[in-house]
Amino acid sequence: MSALLISGASGYLGHRLMKYLEQQQIHQKLIGIDIQEPPTAYSRAQFVKADIRHPSLLKILKTNKVDTVIHLAFINDQRFDATTAHEMNVIGTMKMLNACAVAGVKKIIVASCSLVYGARFDNPNYLVEDSPLLANRSFHYASDKIEVENLCQQFLKRHPDIILILFRSCPFIGPDCNTFMAQLFKRPLVPLILGFNPLMQLIHVDDCLAAMVHFLNHEHSDIFNLAGDGTIPLRKAIRISGGVPLPFLTTFLYPVSELLWHLKLSVSPVEQLGYLKYQCTINNQKMKDVFDFRPCYSSEGALLDFVAFQRTEHVSADQQIQNKQFTMLSDSDNDFDELN
């Protein structure tokens, strides 16, 4: 019996995908690998604690007769040093691809991101799949993703018989998401660049998972943009999330952001500010044409769902505090009654 393997199975997206596939019973045998234990146990899937850079990966693929791999094992947290991130993101992908070729894997699905196109003043309204990848190479995360894509293209030339699908997702967001974009929308005050209000795109994590299921049924090597319908101006998105935009001059914001980054007081490097200055929006029409795929959430709808969850969580936390205080008061009253 062949198997589907998901790398990065303990990460936010990987763990949700494992749970989603379990519920949908999409594949008979499901295996997740990661260097960390998953947040919660799986009911049907098998978890293997393993590093994709280790030679044991080949044994895992062969022993389980893996025929399909969804590769999500990337360091997205940019607070990791660039060398460590590059080792996992790029070298890890190279080792994964090579192991898949030796093990006889038939299909590989690799996660990229829309950041690879770059945020530029001359970007068209919507970037398509064959638009050039012009991200700032000093932005290490985007640079790593471009290298990953180059590795995939080289791999396809050597192994045209293996199906390889790349998907470039715009920033995804979900109920308990903690990505850079999610953290941005959690802030009460959001520093922005004076005079700029780029259009933003988001995709709900549930739509992202549904799209990956479509990729499992695709029988050709391909590249797909993945985004929710519509766009939303950055300042409007901040107001919807309950934040207050604070515009600053570029000459002030950039050096301050760089200082905060070096002091480890910021979650993103200064190079990411470019995406808060110029738009980097992608065309999702190919997904619709090939799969008849329609995201359930628009960009704004994904944000509204995220905000609704955050407010519910906030109310729940307040209620827990109130319940605890009430219990303490009740206990005090009982103690007073006993004394009398």
How confident is the model over 181-206, as pLDDT tens digits? 888 899 898 888 999 999 999 999 99
Closest of 45, 3, 39, 41 to residue 24, by C-alpha: 45
Q: Which DSSP helix (H) or strand (E) runs through 23? A: helix 12-24
The predicted structure's pLDDT at residue 36: 94
Phi, psi of 134 (to 5 degrees): -120, 30
Roughly what angle, to the nearest 10 degrees, separates helices 92-103 and 140-158? 20
Q: Whole-angstrom distance between the N-terminal and C-terminal Cα of the chain? A: 73
**122 pLDDT exceeds 80?**
yes
Residue 309, amino acid: F
The answer to whether the CB of 283 falls within 8 A of the CB of 127 is yes
Yes or no: say if 21 and 30 are a contact pair by the CB < 8 Å rule.
yes
User: Residue range 115-130: average pLDDT?
Assistant: 96
Inter-residue contact 17 to 44 (CB < 8 Å): no
pLDDT band at 325 (very low <50, low <70, confident <90, very high): very low
Residue 155 region by backbone torsions, left for phi larger than 0, else alpha for psi between -120 and 50, else beta: alpha
Q: Which pTM was predicted? A: 0.89
- State CA 222 to chain mean position distance: 20
pLDDT interval class at 24 (50, 70, 90): confident
Query: Which pLDDT belongs to residue 315?
Result: 55
Residue type at position 76: N
